[in-house]
Structure 1
Amino acid sequence: MTNLVIVESPAKAKTIEKYLGKGFTVRSSYGHIRDIQKKGMGIDIANGFSPNYEISADKKKNVAELKKLAKEAESVWLATDEDREGEAIAWHLAEALNLDVSNTRRIVFHEITKPAIEAAVAAPRTVDMDLVNAQQARRILDRIVGFELSPILWKKIRTGLSAGRVQSVAVRLIVEREKEIEAFEAGFSFRVQGKLVLLDDQGLETGEVEVKRSATFDNEEDATAFLQAVSAANLSVLSLEEKPAKRSPKAPFTTSTLQQEAASKLGFSVKQTMMIAQRLYESGKITYMRTDSVNLSEVAIAQAQQSIESAYGAEYVHVRRYKTKQADAQEAHEAIRPTDFNVQEVTGERNEQRLYQLIWRRAIASQMADAQLMRTSVDIAIDSLPSDKLTAKGEVITFDGFLKVYDFGDKSEEGRLPPMKIGQALQLGSLVARQSFARPPARYNEASLVRTLEEMGIGRPSTYAPTIDTIQQRGYVVKEDREGKPRDYRQITLDVGGIQAETLSEMAGSEKNKLFPTDIAGIVTNFLTKHFGEVLDYQFTAKVEDKFDVIAQGNMPWQTMLDDFYKQFHPKVEAAEDVSREEAGQARLLGNHPESALPMYVKIGRFGPYVQIGDGENDEKPTFASLMPGQKMDLITLDDALELFKLPREVGLMPESYSAQAVDGTLFAVEKGQKLIAKQGPFGPYLEYGPKCYAPIKGFDPLNITLEEAAALVEAKIQAEADKIVKTFPGTDVKILKGRWGPYITDLVTKKNAKIAKDEDALQLSLEECQKRLDEAPEPKKRGRAAAKKAPAKKAPAKKAAAKKTPAKKTTAKTKSS
């Protein structure tokens, strides 16, 4: 073997080996091969922040193989990605394979095409240690922050929590937005809009005009008075203005703008977008997908120009050279674009096709002519209200330009107004004054959070997706849809029949794919902001990123930057040891119980927030109750807490017997007269209707659910249990059950599960085949106490302490099936 080329991913390796041909063997490192050792901090702070690196356990076999191939090769080429992360991987490879970093060939390319690969091989360089040091500084600083902050959170708030330089700032943004929403007081106004009928000189109708009053009214009385004045007024065209306008295309995609646009147009999560983009890049269809740059190469511009002219004509071509606004943009050379502009569509998985189309359209549109528009603005006079007016606006596209490929939803006829002239009369069609409520600040979704992080200079393209994924995985943030609530509004309608006022209803406040902070997110954010304000300070976090850029440019030693940070950070860690657990967890005294006079608190526990009666003094055992879904620690009142202790609540007796029979004859039943008890557990409210028999309460308040509603839920649960059984094998504990994703095999004793393929008929499976699959299936994951025993010994005491102080452990054992 003459040349060994090492890339990051196996998919990329296959494509590059095909382009390089004979004399080159291409292998993959499968991403990072080394990281700071997991045991301890892994950083020798006293010795210049020297990191102790180790080869990851799952990469040792691959590294051994690469070592062997490197010894046999005449030349080794490191062809990892062109960003700092890729540069660091190249350096780690050189270190692990005992290569001389000063003369090992390093090649980079922005796209996986034959010309790009050949050009890179023709002009190799060495590993850029400035870029490596910038990445090292980021990794070490983040390890220090996480390693020193997380144990404090375990001791002071709850075991298993984590903190991070970027992740904690992202959580803070979401928590603070939620506080703004909670503090928002919605005002209202009345907005007038509707239609007028245009008349010619003979008084004949010539068309309809959509109009509105630009200013709003503060109350219903003023809105009604305005409509009454219009009903008796003469209306005419006061002024008419037509002027040309244009709309320009946006720059090609950067990482963050791709994530935002894919979310809004395709409904992709940030993580999904990056996974699909990675596949498109590795298969040679698009350029590198982690970039801050909006620039296109001259070769790409020329190719786009030729493609546009060929498909649409020369009048659609408009060459543009975009410049990246951020002074701190990373070292990537180009925006995200297709490697070949002549390829409008690609084969492959559907979402890959959709994302490629989005990238192609955005990039090709950036080199196309402006869309030309004609905008019309009309003021309509009301003779009885000389100081007031109605307005009409229209827009017509006279030349579509870039909108031919990248349409924002504009239509050539949208908003078109009929021909008019000054003084022309109009008559009433219908006008509506509708009560509109002010909206609170919008909650973040993944795309808007990325946009905010980018605008504030927090993080970089490679950090957005893992950061957003981490804060959800750690339980600080949940992404979900929430239904709105009915809201009444007033509407006054004026038409030829007169004025009519009515009260209507609408659904308000519905949310889709929004990021909601959990209670623990608010507690951790408040604690960190109070005691480690600098780490969570938005400007500080952005300035740290700037320092990484300075290191990458070779203008600052990375150890100096870390030393400056640690001198300020570590004393605050030591000071935080004196904070009490109650203060850190924001335990709050709600008041005294009206009957016992015992103090009542709201606290956070291992399984979430709860309220507590009593403080355990004088050998008196406190009592506990979990908060209801939707209740928040910082908003709950004494009265709210007292309501929680009304559970368990006996709803009533089952009015009629109900039973359902499974395919194996098993009878699931509840008898008439069985007590139905509403309870609250750590997983939400549920009904208990017998020994170890539970039915979840969804969409009902356990304090107010009626007997009829409760009985219906129990019947539904019994029927669902019966329907779940697909097949049984008498005399064994093996069953085939219906699960969320279809039928599956289970053993009721060992708790092992085995899969059934979608195209298989579950009813045709024999006991022998089911037993065989169960034997081959992995052992079930242990949960609860069994899982806790597997935790490192160092963390076990903290978990036991948390369990003793929270009531939810006992509750969970009773209510897990709910």
Structure 2
Amino acid sequence: MKLMIVESPNKTKKITEILAHIRPGENWKVAASVGHIRDLPATGETEGEITTGVRADLMPRYELTDKGKDVVSRLKALAEKADEIYLATDPDREGESISWHLQQALKLKNPIRVSFNEITEGRIRSAIENPTRIDMKLVGAQEARRVLDRLVGYLVSPALYKLTGDRLSAGRVQSPAVYLVVVREREIAAFKVTVHYGAQLIFADAKTGGQWAVEWMTAEGFTSDDNPYFMDGRYAGLVAGVRDVSVLSCEEKDASRNPPGPFTTSTLQQAASNALKWNPKKTMDLAQELFAQGHISYHRTDNPNVADESMPDIRAVAAALGLEVVDKRREFKAGEGAQAGHPGITPTHWEVEVAGETPDQQTLYKLIRTRAIASQLLAARYKDRTVIMRATEPVEGKPVTFGAVGRTLVSPGWLKLLGKDAAEDDDEDAEPNNPIPLLTPGQTLKALDGKVLEKKTRPPKRYTEASLVKALEVKGIGRPSTSASIMNNIIEIRGYVEVDSKRQLRPTPLGEKLIACLEGKFSFLDLGFTRELETDLDKIAEGKAQYRGVVERLHASLGSELGQLSSMPSMRKEHPCPDCGKPMHRRKGSNGHFWGCTGYPDCNTTLPDEKGEPGKPKVVALSNYPCGKCGKPLVHKQKKGKGGYDFWGCSGFKEGCRASYPNLKGNKPDMANGK
């Protein structure tokens, strides 16, 4: 028997079917590790001493997770019966690390490492025919990342708790992400609006009956780099009153616009957020499912290019759609530090229009497929016209110049399929719509109308999940494959950032408190330091740096910085329980954060969370209906929607009366059927 171990149980059926087809007559068993089986010990602070799970020499200590114990027991039984063992975990650092942990935990002597970025016959056949060994450089890079994250989290977080009394959690990458949101909010708060003016002249096109416009070029003698805004509304009104102008120049040139590349991990999350209103976690979960089903290539990649061997498939699909493909594969520049090992996210079977088991999976597949096909279509072609004109008479002795750019689409190319780049915000990527006619220098024109343009400077935009993912990638914080977990951590789990009704990110009071404690005190919050650490991790993967040197650097800085934090005056703010006086602590529940008494279970008082502080207790409306068991007033308890309820309960619940009664029509308790 030949045993192949993959990560996800969702892959086993598909891979088993493929192996049976490409290796008929061979006895293959495909089993799953269900992700990581070992990790650093989960202990935090023990008897006043912080236990990081890292040894004194900064090497990690590993133990089987609770889930891993069952998985290893099952895999050991299979491994004992196997003649050959193939480790086919995902083709990235995490996958390489999981293979190494499997080798260690199962005590495998000569495991065969195979990897494929598509679950297709061709890729799996090629992987089996070209086996490798576990790449310990990649394992070392993953190990360093895990240890660095643990050192920051387990050394700094307890110190923050001692300082503030709040369960603040520091993260090597999550804290810089929160910092970006906090800094942006400060910029918005400090922003002062400047009102300035411009002017526009509107012309009629006698041939088409349409209209086009030019705008006053204030930079021509009216503004400067030191004073970029024109503030005189009266003068702008005079400029808007200009009617006679002469053409100084009108240039026409051919222009083209290439399509965006296939999705990377980052741009997929951005596009799904902007176009589908999904958060990054949902997008990555759906992409994982599509990959496991064999519908798309590996979804953790920062290479925006299709594979060479995909071009014949793209040509065939484009021909069927009546679209033209470039003669030579179009290449896109990857971001700095990108790993070119995996191609962009593309369909595995290009001719398949609909794939996925659920509507959401099918929607994401369509987004991926359309974008990947469009990447190799002909460029969109335009005629661009740029006109410069001047008022025939000066305005109060000063020459006034106007200008405009007009663009006419000549051939849509890829726009015929894709329309726009979904990874960009809705108000970006817009085409200029100003049909300027062909004019000649010296030609005089009379404006149809004019208007003053009152303009206001705008504060910086708040981040959305999509734009924060993009900012993290641009600034080199973390890796795109970790963006989804970062967003989920700072929003859903920790509550440092909230999403408002416009899908914009705002820091919560707890997030602002976190940054106030860290800012200027810890180097890992510095974006440059964090970016350099990511570069060092890449160097470990490439064999150009060593694990110990990278980890020691951060550990040394944390040691001195923690001393600085301990010298700060206490920021603890006690919140006594209104019922027993013991401290209240902020906790995370299934419906969000709340405050619970530390005297639980003797005292089960809870209070709602209001911007990081305990709120006022909810006022319970007592009815005039007495409990049939103890005589205390009943309370109508009702919740609509999924998991809802509608009944009457005794207000003496805390005193031990658990009586409840169904609700009748007219909102009355059914006393005859109480429990």
1:8 aligns to 2:7 (yes or no): yes
The alignment partner of 1:50 has SS state of coil
Structure 2 vs 1, CA of residues 315 and 51 (structure 1 numbering), >3 Å: closer, same or farther?
A: closer
Q: CA deviation at 1:194?
A: 5.5
Q: After superposition, where does 1:704-723 map in structure 2 within 5 Å?
A: none
The alignment partner of 2:331 has SS state of coil
2:470 corresponds, among 451, 469, 486, to 451
Equivalence for 1:338: 347
Distance in 2 of aligned mates of 1:38 and 1:242: 66
Equivalence for 1:545: 534
1:166 corresponds, among 156, 168, 173, to 173
The residue type equivalent to 1:470 in the other structure is N
Distance in 1 of aligned mates of 2:150 and 2:610: 35
Q: Is the 8 A contact 1:17 1:25 kept in 2?
A: yes
1:221 aligns to 2:234 (yes or no): yes
Q: CA deviation at 1:693?
A: 5.3
Number of residues paired by the alignment?
601
1:461 aligns to 2:468 (yes or no): no
1:260 corresponds, among 236, 261, 270, to 270
29-38 or 392-401, larger mean C-alpha shift:
392-401
Distance in 2 of aligned mates of 1:332 and 1:744: 53
1:389 aligns to 2:379 (yes or no): no
Structure 2 vs 1, CA of residues 263 and 578 (structure 1 numbering), >3 Å: closer, same or farther?
A: same
1:515 corresponds, among 505, 508, 526, to 505
Equivalence for 1:565: 554
Structure 2 vs 1, CA of residues 310 and 120 (structure 1 numbering), >3 Å: closer, same or farther?
A: same
The residue type equivalent to 1:569 in the other structure is L
Q: Is the 8 A contact 2:40 2:54 kept in 1?
A: no
The residue type equivalent to 1:447 in the other structure is A
Q: Is the 8 A contact 2:16 2:30 kept in 1?
A: yes
254-263 or 555-564, larger mean C-alpha shift:
555-564
Q: Is the 8 A contact 1:197 1:427 kept in 2?
A: no
Q: CA deviation at 1:225?
A: 2.5
The alignment partner of 2:204 has SS state of strand
1:281 aligns to 2:291 (yes or no): yes
1:30 aligns to 2:20 (yes or no): no
Distance in 2 of aligned mates of 1:295 and 1:457: 20
Q: Is the 8 A contact 1:167 1:471 kept in 2?
A: yes
Distance in 2 of aligned mates of 1:736 and 1:574: 51
Q: Is the 8 A contact 2:325 2:376 kept in 1?
A: no
Distance in 1 of aligned mates of 2:448 and 2:643: 56
1:526 aligns to 2:516 (yes or no): yes
Distance in 2 of aligned mates of 1:513 and 1:63: 43
Q: CA deviation at 1:434?
A: 3.3
Structure 2 vs 1, CA of residues 351 and 451 (structure 1 numbering), >3 Å: closer, same or farther?
A: same
Q: After superposition, where does 1:637-656 map in structure 2 within 5 Å?
A: none
Q: Is the 8 A contact 2:324 2:378 kept in 1?
A: no
The residue type equivalent to 1:528 in the other structure is L
The residue type equivalent to 1:449 in the other structure is L
The alignment partner of 1:447 has SS state of helix
1:356 corresponds, among 365, 373, 386, to 365
Equivalence for 1:492: none
Distance in 2 of aligned mates of 1:86 and 1:355: 24
2:645 corresponds, among 744, 748, 754, to 744
Equivalence for 2:141: 134
Distance in 1 of aligned mates of 2:111 and 2:547: 23
The alignment partner of 1:293 has SS state of coil
Distance in 2 of aligned mates of 1:753 and 1:218: 72
2:162 corresponds, among 155, 169, 178, to 155
TM-score (norm 1): 0.67
Distance in 2 of aligned mates of 1:479 and 1:242: 48
Equivalence for 1:812: none
Q: Is the 8 A contact 1:293 1:333 kept in 2?
A: yes
Equivalence for 1:113: 120
Q: Is the 8 A contact 1:396 1:412 kept in 2?
A: no
Q: After superposition, where does 1:472-511 map in structure 2 within 5 Å?
A: 472-481=491-500
Q: CA deviation at 1:321?
A: 3.0
Q: After superposition, where does 1:672-751 map in structure 2 within 5 Å?
A: 682-683=614-615, 692=619, 737-741=638-642, 743-744=644-645, 748=649
The residue type equivalent to 1:450 in the other structure is V
The alignment partner of 2:200 has SS state of strand
Q: Is the 8 A contact 1:42 1:52 kept in 2?
A: no
The alignment partner of 1:43 has SS state of coil
Map Cα deviations across residues 604-651 of structure 1 (whole Å, 9 max, x no partner). Answer: x9669xxxxxxxxxxxxxxxxx9x989x9xxxxxxxxxxxxxxxxxxx
Q: Is the 8 A contact 1:3 1:24 kept in 2?
A: yes
Distance in 1 of aligned mates of 2:542 and 2:113: 18
Structure 2 vs 1, CA of residues 730 and 432 (structure 1 numbering), >3 Å: closer, same or farther?
A: farther
1:272 aligns to 2:278 (yes or no): no
Q: Is the 8 A contact 1:161 1:474 kept in 2?
A: no
Q: Is the 8 A contact 2:212 2:435 kept in 1?
A: no
1:292 corresponds, among 297, 302, 311, to 302
Q: CA deviation at 1:198?
A: 4.2
Q: CA deviation at 1:472?
A: 1.4
Structure 2 vs 1, CA of residues 260 and 44 (structure 1 numbering), >3 Å: closer, same or farther?
A: closer
The residue type equivalent to 1:56 in the other structure is T
Q: After superposition, where does 1:766-781 map in structure 2 within 5 Å?
A: none
The alignment partner of 1:4 has SS state of strand
Structure 2 vs 1, CA of residues 737 and 124 (structure 1 numbering), >3 Å: closer, same or farther?
A: same
1:86 aligns to 2:95 (yes or no): yes
TM-score (norm 2): 0.80
Q: Is the 8 A contact 2:262 2:372 kept in 1?
A: yes
Distance in 2 of aligned mates of 1:629 and 1:209: 53
Structure 2 vs 1, CA of residues 208 and 324 (structure 1 numbering), >3 Å: closer, same or farther?
A: closer
1:183 aligns to 2:190 (yes or no): yes
The residue type equivalent to 1:210 in the other structure is A
Q: CA deviation at 1:143?
A: 0.7
Distance in 2 of aligned mates of 1:365 and 1:317: 14
Map Cα deviations across residues 243-283 of structure 1 (whole Å, 9 max, x no partner). Answer: 11111122222111211222222222111211111111111
Q: Note the residue ranges of structure 2 that are not aligned, 5 or more in a row.
A: 21-25, 45-50, 219-228, 422-428, 574-583, 588-606
1:556 aligns to 2:545 (yes or no): yes
Q: Note the residue ranges of structure 1 that are not aligned, 5 or more in a row.
A: 483-511, 586-604, 609-625, 633-680, 695-717, 723-728, 755-761, 775-818
Q: What is the percentage of aligned positions where both structures have the same residue? A: 35
Distance in 2 of aligned mates of 1:411 and 1:519: 36
Distance in 1 of aligned mates of 2:327 and 2:431: 20
Distance in 1 of aligned mates of 2:145 and 2:432: 53
Structure 2 vs 1, CA of residues 51 and 188 (structure 1 numbering), >3 Å: closer, same or farther?
A: same
